[in-house]
Amino acid sequence: MAVNFYEKVDDKLLKFAVIIAKTDGKYVFCKHRSRNTLEVPGGHREPGEVISDTAKRELYEETGAIDFDIQPVCVYSVIAKDNFDGEESFGMLYFAEIREFEQELHSEIEKIVITDKMPVDWTYPDIQPDLMEEAGRRGFDCR
């Protein structure tokens, strides 16, 4: 598996939005109802949706964030034999500072975990740690 980073690609290639989220200096991770692992919020772009709207929608759906600042970090891609027939798939990486959450989640996410530590059990261990590292290299608070 390979994870690559780009400044820009053709918008129509962006299929996913992934958001590194923090609140009060701590990371916000999601635990999906059907998994025992943690992940950063994110998901698939809907047909006709602007990628920045995908990021905002996924951040809300997966964390309950209702008041936040969000900004793009970079484009990322994944090449994996068992994904998209080995073709390179592209997503946009974002960074968000969340100020306020809704009281209840309304999605497939069971709970959010707010912590200053990186997960031991990542849902996507070959991808998401690389995204965190790249955002840190680009000056975002991902120590």
Token output for 128: 């998401």
Share of the chain above pLDDT 70, in %: 98
* 108 φψ region: left (φ > 0), alpha (ψ -120 to 50), beta (else): alpha
CATH, residue 69: 3.90.79.10
Residue 10 domain flag: yes
Residue 141 domain flag: no
Residue 83 domain flag: yes
Between residues 27 and 106, the one the model is more confident about = 27
For residues 4 and 79, what is the distance between their CA atoms, to the nearest angstrom?
A: 8
Question: Does residue 84 have a pLDDT over 70?
Answer: no
pTM of the predicted model, to two decimals?
0.94
Structural domain boundaries, residue 61? 2-136
Residue 143 domain flag: no
Residue 103 domain flag: yes
pLDDT number for residue 86: 73
What's the structural domain count of the chain? 1
Residue 46 domain flag: yes
Residue 142 domain flag: no
